Amino acid sequence: MTMTDSPQQERIIGERRLRREDPGLLSGENRFSDDLVVPGALHLVLVRSPHAHAKILHVDANAARSMPGVVAVLTGQDLQSEWAAPMPCAWPVTPDMKNPAHYPLATEYVHYAGECVVAVVARSQIEAVDAAGAVIVEYEELTPVLDLEDAVTDASLAHEELDSNASFVWSLDPNPEAVEAAFREAAVTVSERYVQQRLIPAAMEPRAMVVVPSPMGGDYTVYSATQIPHVLRVMLALTTGIPETKLRVVAPSVGGGFGSKLDVYAEELLCLVLARRLRQPVRFTEERGEGTMATIHGRGQVQYMELAANADGKVTAVRVKLLADMGAYLQLVTPGVPLLGAFLYHGVYDIGAYSFTCTGLFTNKTPTDAYRGAGRPEATYAIERAMDTLARKLAMDPAEIRRRNFIAAEKFPYESVAGLVFDSGSYQENLAKALDRAGYAELRAEQQRRRAAGDPRRLGIGVSCYVEMCGLAPSRVLASLNYGAGGWEAATVRILPTSKVQVVTGTAPHGQGHETSWSMIVADKLGISPDDVEVLHSDTAIAPHGMDTYGSRSLSVGGTAIYLATERVIEKALKIAAHQMEVAEEDLEYVGASFRVKGSPDQQLPLAAIAFEAFTAHNLPDGVEPNLEASISWDPPNFTFPNGTHIAVVEVDEETGRVQLERYIAVDDCGNQINPMIVEGQVHGGITQGVAQALYEEALYDASGQLLNASLADYLVPSAAELPSFELGSTVTPSPTNPLGVKGVGEAGTIGSAPAVINAVVDALADLGVTDCPMPATPERVYSLIQQATAAR
Ligand code: MCN
């Protein structure tokens, strides 16, 4: 049976249903990790390194130990025997990748400002904070490695035991001769350098956790604001030596993550081993300023991007060299982040020759890791900015140069030069719809009018077309990339005796509305109300199998697993119905939550009756087990490839350098949509994060490696007030990768938006001779670009 087998049934998939999660989240009724009341819980506070790079000479904890309420003050040395293994990096991208041992507390050296050095445990938070202030650590300061390009050749080393700052070099160079030939024969080439500044994730809920040991010891419940309860359980077991069966991980309500909670953090490990050692619950909640240094950072790359093209604008080759800032240590998937973009630097264009090399480098800064889009916003930025440069060199309209290079709709499934198979898409249609929605011709006319009139409010129009790979799956492909886990997802669907339905999913939502979406998938298939479907998740005791939520995988992998499990439940119910009605299975059809005899709609048996029969098991056919339940683990055959066109319209004030985002148009193709309202919400949030990178956000360090904007008063996270209403549209090319025909959407907005905005800023100033604008396009930066361009004329 497929979705199209039951046309008479009322469709729930595709409805704009309000998220059932929101009342609890918005009213304060839901409980987040820090809200959990755990009697007797001790409080962990960390003494962190004030230096970017230093040797620890001496720790004096005597005064702190004797302070009121203090239970323990422990150094890295004190806790070293607790660890079965160092902190995990699950993505060793090359066999010779350098990965300096990383323990939750530093022992000999510190490698970034904010690294944990001493754990202070006290009966109250305030007592722990006071005692932490009394710990004296003597350091010998060492030269920090801070600049990514300098790190390549720098005599200083971020890690004293390594012989260079490189962690790995990873290449994808399927046909070097073809690339050489294309550049040799090119009529025009583009050679650009782009900087992906470091970004600080700013989820509404900071990281928080509490570990509760069983009264007799030996079993532990770990509550954490994490995106990955399942992966975390495995990693906690491997790192502490506690058997996995003795660990239950629960992610209560989680207030956003954007990739930053896809990690195994020192504080999670510390709370667990301290609970084991002290036989009491231990909790930790980070302060916002602490989080800006101790939670991973995003991006942090320098990109050298080259295009070869012929005279009519057809791109013949793309060559990329990337420097990727790992920060001080490799966190869970740090080295893999650039690889997630490695296959996509030719974007939506049909290109014959491709070369990509990435060097991962250590610096003495906060470790980087996955941040919304992870590798794909960076790739899209590079190709989309370079395409605009090419258009300018050829005096061609940016939309026209894209049209000439798109992968044609009839070429799907399309085997890319980088070795991927793009599932489906209609890139021309995305562009046409977005241009139409924007009123592109009128915008260009208005731009000319303002230029001719010498209007200081310059208009800029930026186009960006993207494709991404998400739904991180086929486990075999992940194996070929050396990724340390599979890409499947698990689901159980069970119909209870009273015909209410329980869904157990391995996904771990933290703002994506899975309870709503998953209930819609099941309700649509069963012909019941979504209100009768309960969705259970994020607790390894309830959902023991799962690969969690990241990489816009949850719907295309986890949602599909639920769809397939529901199908299996119906298949079992069909057997029972046929037996009860004394007809052949082939003579029955499933419509409106009932099995009915084909051609005799009056002869029917409701699913509710079968659910009760399956429970009493009084009259089941031979060989059919009691209960209506099915569990599956689904491993998709391919990634999904969402795509789209985004257009930003900005006004740049020539007199102040201020950039105002006037309009934002996005046409996205995420295949069939389960809930268009959730899709739009995801796109809104995603666009906002990309606009934030383009215009506002950047982690700034001083020459000694101190983070200068470590508070939300200094680090500019935009609010609704900075943004226009987004104008959204969609194209639907169902993905053949899964039976729902869906592709992910959780990161799409972030991937398309930063290049659209910067292309618009550069477009506004292009007639002055401006060809690039580094991110973020702050008024100061834009103003000085205008001054330099004007002076050079
Ligand atoms: N959806 C749909 N139809 C589609 C595609 C998606 O109805 N064709 C719905 C899904 O059913 C789901 C939601 O959109 O309810 C997102 O689905 P999906 O694209 O599969 O992404 P994930 O659920 O795997 O979410 C991960 C993604 C990532 S990688 C980041 S980062 C991110 C994001 O989601 N972080 C978020 N969105 C976020 N939203 C919030 N509020 N907070 C975060 O931290």
CB burial of 735-770 (b: ≥16 within 10 Å; e: otherwise) equals: bebbebbbbbbbbbbbbbbbbbbbbbbbbbbbebeb
DSSP-assigned letter for residue 625: P
Best residue among 510, 521, 555 to mutate for probing ligand 1's pocket (most ligand atoms within 8 Å of CB) is 555
- Say whether 78 sits in a helix, a strand or coil: helix
pLDDT given at position 317: 98
pLDDT given at position 9: 64
pLDDT given at position 2: 36
552 lines ligand 1 (CB under 6 A): yes
Query: What is the rounded (10 degree) CA torsion for 329, 335, 336, 341?
Result: 120
* Residue 786, token pair as written in the block: 């205008």
CA atoms lying within 13 Å on the CB side of residue 126 = 0
Kindly report the pTM of this predicted structure: 0.97
Reported confidence tier of residue 10, pLDDT bands at 50, 70, 90:
confident
DSSP class per residue in 449-504: HHHHHT-SEEEEEEEEEEE--BS---HHHHHHTT-SS---EEEEEEE-TTS-EEEE
Q: Which of 221, 243, 223, 225 is nearest to 234 (CA)?
A: 243
pLDDT given at position 6: 47
The enclosing H or E element of 514 equals helix 514-526
Centre of ligand 1 to C-alpha 510, Å, is: 9
Bridge-partner residues for 663, per DSSP?
649
Q: 509 and 628 in contact (C-beta within 8 Å)? A: no
pLDDT tens column, 346-397: 999 999 999 999 999 999 999 999 999 999 999 999 999 999 999 999 999 9
Give Cα 350 to chain centroid, integer Å.
27
512 lines ligand 1 (CB under 6 A): yes
pLDDT tens column, 560-572: 999 999 999 999 9
Name the average pLDDT for the chain.
Answer: 96
pLDDT tens column, 216-232: 879 999 999 999 999 99
Average pLDDT rounded to a whole number, residues 725-744: 98
Reported confidence tier of residue 473, pLDDT bands at 50, 70, 90:
confident
* Residue 364 main-chain phi, psi, to 5 deg: -95, 60
- Ligand 1 atom nearest the C-alpha of 521 is 11
622 CB-near residues (< 8 Å, 6+ apart): none
Q: How far is 633 from 491, CA to CA, in rounded Å?
A: 6
Identical fold for domains 22-30+488-634 and 425-468+640-793, yes or no, is yes
430 lines ligand 1 (CB under 6 A): no
pLDDT given at position 471: 86
pLDDT given at position 8: 55
- Ligand 1 atom nearest the C-alpha of 549 is 24
Question: CA Rg, the chain, in Å?
Answer: 28
Which residue has better confidence, 5 or 529? 529
pLDDT given at position 369: 98
Q: How far is 378 from 196, CA to CA, in rounded Å?
A: 7
306 lines ligand 1 (CB under 6 A): no
Centre of ligand 1 to C-alpha 505, Å, is: 15
553 lines ligand 1 (CB under 6 A): yes
Would the pLDDT of 4 be above 60?
no
Q: Strand 109-110 and strand 54-60: pairing?
A: antiparallel
Q: How far is 374 from 686, CA to CA, in rounded Å?
A: 12
pLDDT given at position 474: 87
Average pLDDT rounded to a whole number, residues 136-165: 96
19 lines ligand 1 (CB under 6 A): no
| Domain residue limits, the chain | 22-30+488-634, 425-468+640-793
DSSP-assigned letter for residue 693: H
pLDDT tens column, 528-585: 999 999 999 999 999 999 999 999 999 999 999 999 999 999 999 999 999 999 999 9
CATH of domain 425-468+640-793: 3.30.365.10
State which amino acid sits at residue 27.
S
Q: How far is 743 from 555, CA to CA, in rounded Å?
A: 8
pLDDT tens column, 737-750: 999 999 999 999 99
User: Left, alpha or beta for 374 (phi > 0: left; psi -120 to 50: alpha)?
Assistant: left
Q: Whose CA is nearest to atom 37 of ligand 1?
A: 746
301 lines ligand 1 (CB under 6 A): no
pLDDT given at position 5: 45
Average pLDDT rounded to a whole number, residues 80-91: 98
Would the pLDDT of 344 be above 70?
yes
Would the pLDDT of 661 be above 90?
yes
Q: Whose CA is nearest to atom 27 of ligand 1?
A: 746
- Ligand 1 atom nearest the C-alpha of 745 is 19
Q: Which of 198, 225, 345, 330 is nearest to 284 (CA)?
A: 225
Q: How far is 210 from 376, CA to CA, in rounded Å?
A: 34
Q: 545 and 230 in contact (C-beta within 8 Å)? A: yes
* Residue 635, token pair as written in the block: 């491993």
* Residue 386, token pair as written in the block: 């370079």
225 lines ligand 1 (CB under 6 A): no
Give Cα 27 to chain centroid, integer Å.
26
682 lines ligand 1 (CB under 6 A): yes
Centre of ligand 1 to C-alpha 686, Å, is: 10
- Class at the top of the CATH hierarchy for domain 22-30+488-634: alpha beta
Burial class from Cβ neighbours inside 10 Å (0-12, 13-18, 19+) for residue 537 reads: buried
Owner of token pair 């100061």:
780
Q: How far is 283 from 212, CA to CA, in rounded Å?
A: 9
Would the pLDDT of 524 be above 50?
yes
Q: Which of 293, 323, 294, 371 is nearest to 701 (CA)?
A: 293
The enclosing H or E element of 724 equals none
* Residue 555, token pair as written in the block: 């719907």
Average pLDDT rounded to a whole number, residues 705-726: 96
- Ligand 1 atom nearest the C-alpha of 514 is 15
Would the pLDDT of 37 be above 50?
yes
Centre of ligand 1 to C-alpha 642, Å, is: 12
Strands (E), 565-678: 588-591, 594-597, 600-606, 628-634, 643-653, 659-669
**In 241-314, alpha helices (H):** 266-278, 288-294
pLDDT given at position 423: 97
Q: Strand 643-653 and strand 659-669: pairing?
A: antiparallel
Best residue among 30, 299, 507, 552 to mutate for probing ligand 1's pocket (most ligand atoms within 8 Å of CB) is 552
Average pLDDT rounded to a whole number, residues 753-767: 98
pLDDT tens column, 257-315: 999 999 999 999 999 999 999 999 999 999 999 999 999 999 999 999 999 999 999 99
pLDDT given at position 7: 43
DSSP class per residue in 519-574: HHHHHHHHTS-GGGEEEE-SBTTTS-----S-TT-IIIIIIHHHHHHHHHHHHHHH
pLDDT given at position 155: 84
